[in-house]
């Protein structure tokens, strides 16, 4: 028979739409008999350019159908070459209709909330069941990661692959060099990424994932340590592993107990436990973490120093103690920091004059052209150091409710200044 290339039938499928060519086959099973109608003669001219149009098309005089009946387990043709008009069949393009995908007529909000609570409870229980399982095997896994001279290669298929990708990213960002390898790609050349100095971390709930099992002989040949996160310790993967971490769960959170839900949550939690335990064993610090996150706000807070944001040179406002208040105000306006520093002949900082000082000064009658800066300045102001973290400077400014700080060296010599706007531009605040 000249069947369509998409002759595979699936239970409950009434309309099958092909994607590559505008061919369509309707499979109709009858509840009261073993009869089935299929299209056996196909014509490519369907009056439509391609499948996927939301319209109905009659196949009269364009296609032929045959009716089959089971005869001792083998199909036998009962009728051939009659128009689809007799079968009263209509093809609806771009519709894949199954009994199981019909939309509910009304959304049941209380039921949805109850299901959500049940899912969270099941997944919380799945993670809790891992705690009593932690023991020598977990310790050995941590030791393998700590002693790894190469990289940790993490792999998994399907949903486990997504979890594996996240675990690899967590390890890499917390001091353990790691990367993800897709097991399907590994079987087609990417296995070359793995060296004898690496550790292989494999994720498979069943422990029988074909793509991972295919890699086992190569991993063994390279003498690479294999850590298996699996729900079946007695599986093929478990038997081949150097270390087994049991991540089995009593049941999935899916109401059908099919979709990977609780099992993937448990696997992810075990991966996080590994990463954090190894992180602490390495003595990994906040600064180390920031180095691997230079583009984030955390990296800016932990890596950016005052010397990176302060103004220097001609952008630095400074006048002498003998300068007039008028000269000080002009310096404040031209440099735009909302303050000016007062320094002696050696550039040693002796005072500061801010917008707040100006408001307090103007409460009394005075001549701005004759009053000296040393008589209105704030002496011995709070200062920052160039090597100070910008985040520390933010804390200092918030604690004392100030908006600008001069920066001095160990000898008290003025080397810079900055205000809240400089910190905001740097992304620290």
Residues 129 and 238 in one domain: yes
Strand partners, 37: 28, 67
Predicted pLDDT of residue 103: 60
pLDDT (0 to 100) of residue 328: 93
Half-sphere exposure (Cβ direction) of 363: Cα atoms closer than 13 Å: 7
The last residue of a domain, from among 40, 67, 101: 101
What angle is formed at CA 77 by the lines to CA 76 and CA 80, rounded to 5 degrees?
Answer: 175
Residue with tokens 């790691």: 178
Is there a single domain that holds both residue 150 and residue 269? Answer: yes
Residue 1 belongs to a domain:
no
Q: Whole-structure pTM over 0.85, yes or no?
A: no
In degrees and rounded to multiples of 5, residue 188 shows phi and psi of: -125, 35
The answer to whether 290 touches 298, Cβ cutoff 8 Å, is yes
Q: Are residues 163 and 44 in the same domain?
A: no
How far is it, in rounded angstroms, from Cα 237 to Cα 233?
A: 8
Which residues have a Cβ under 8 Å from the Cβ of 32 and sit 6 or more positions away? none
Indicate which CATH number applies to the domain containing 310. 3.10.580.10
Provide the residue range defining the domain that includes 384: 306-425
Same domain, 126 and 269: yes
- Domain check: are 146 and 255 in the same one? yes
Residue 332: inside a domain, yes or no? yes
* 44 plus 83 within the same structural domain: yes
In total, how many domains does the chain have?
3
> Which DSSP state fits 103?
P
Same-domain check for residues 126 and 61: no
**Inside any domain, residue 162:** yes
Segments of the chain with pLDDT less than 70: 1-104, 290, 292-302
Q: Are residues 261 and 123 in the same domain?
A: yes
In the structure encoding, which two tokens stand for residue 17, read together?
């739409």
Residue 141 sits in the same domain as residue 231: yes
């Amino acid at each position: 028979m000249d069947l369509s290339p998409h002759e595979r039938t699936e239970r409950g499928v009434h309309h099958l739409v092909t994607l590559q060519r505008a061919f369509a086959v309707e499979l109709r099973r009858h509840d009261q008999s073993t009869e089935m109608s299929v299209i056996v003669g196909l014509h490519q001219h369907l009056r439509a350019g391609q499948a996927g149009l939301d319209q109905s098309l009659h196949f009269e005089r364009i296609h032929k159908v045959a009716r089959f009946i089971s005869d001792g387990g083998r199909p036998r043709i009962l009728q051939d070459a009659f128009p689809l008009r007799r079968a009263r069949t209509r093809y609806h393009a771009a519709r894949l209709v199954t009994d199981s995908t019909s939309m509910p007529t009304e959304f049941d909000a209380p039921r949805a909330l109850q299901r959500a609570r049940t899912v969270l409870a099941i997944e919380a229980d799945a993670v809790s069941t891992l705690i009593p399982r932690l023991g020598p095997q977990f310790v050995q896994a941590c030791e393998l990661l700590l002693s790894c001279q190469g990289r940790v290669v993490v792999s998994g298929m399907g949903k486990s692959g997504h979890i594996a990708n996240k675990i690899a990213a967590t390890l890499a960002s917390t001091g353990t060099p790691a990367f993800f390898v897709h097991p399907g790609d590994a079987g087609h050349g990417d296995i070359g990424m793995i060296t004898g100095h690496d550790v292989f971390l494999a994720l498979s709930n069943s422990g029988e994932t074909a793509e991972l099992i295919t890699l086992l002989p190569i991993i063994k040949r390279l003498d690479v340590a294999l850590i298996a996160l699996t729900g079946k310790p007695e599986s093929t993967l478990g038997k081949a592993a150097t270390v087994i971490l049991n991540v089995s769960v009593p049941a999935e959170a899916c109401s059908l107990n099919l979709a990977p839900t609780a099992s993937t949550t448990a696997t992810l939690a075990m991966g996080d436990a590994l990463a954090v335990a190894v992180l602490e064993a390495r003595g990994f610090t906040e600064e180390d973490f920031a180095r691997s996150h230079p583009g984030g706000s955390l990296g800016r807070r932990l890596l950016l120093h005052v010397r990176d944001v302060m103004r220097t040179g001609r952008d630095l406002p400074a006048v002498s103690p003998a300068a007039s208040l008028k000269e000080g105000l002009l310096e404040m306006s031209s440099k735009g920091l909302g303050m000016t520093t007062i320094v002696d002949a050696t550039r040693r900082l002796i005072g500061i004059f801010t917008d707040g000082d100006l408001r307090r000064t103007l409460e009394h009658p005075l001549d701005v052209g004759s009053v000296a800066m040393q008589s209105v300045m704030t002496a011995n102001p709070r200062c920052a150091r160039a090597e100070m973290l910008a985040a520390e400077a933010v804390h200092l400014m918030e604690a004392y409710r100030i908006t600008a700080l001069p920066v001095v060296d160990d000898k008290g010599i003025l080397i810079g200044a900055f205000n809240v706007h400089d910190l905001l531009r740097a992304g620290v605040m």
